[in-house]
Amino acid sequence: MAVKLAKEFDLEAFNRDRGGAQHEKGDVEIAGKFYGCKRRKKAPKWIFPEKEEVGVIFKADYHLPYISVPIEHYFLLLALVNKEFN
């Protein structure tokens, strides 16, 4: 799903984990970067935006902060950056 959507934003994207081969760098490659893919029936409610938020920034002790945003927003930003700098 992520690779197909990335291609809709004209991003170069590949599924690197076909057939359970477990690619050493990640499950998918999008615009030259590797990403892991996780799927669960349910995700924690706090990871989803509420009210008028567009995303959620979160941090655990001794870890870097991360952001949870809809994948379309992230791919749009990535496509704009790639267009500007490539």
Distance separating alpha carbons of residues 11 and 9, to the nearest angstrom = 5
Helices (H), 1-86: 2-8, 71-85
- The pLDDT tens digits for 31-85 are 999 998 888 999 999 999 999 999 999 999 999 999 999 999 999 999 999 988 8
**For position 21, what pLDDT does the model report?**
59
The answer to whether residue 20 scores a pLDDT higher than 70 is no
Distance separating alpha carbons of residues 83 and 29, to the nearest angstrom = 18
**For position 6, what pLDDT does the model report?**
96
**For position 50, what pLDDT does the model report?**
94
**For position 19, what pLDDT does the model report?**
59
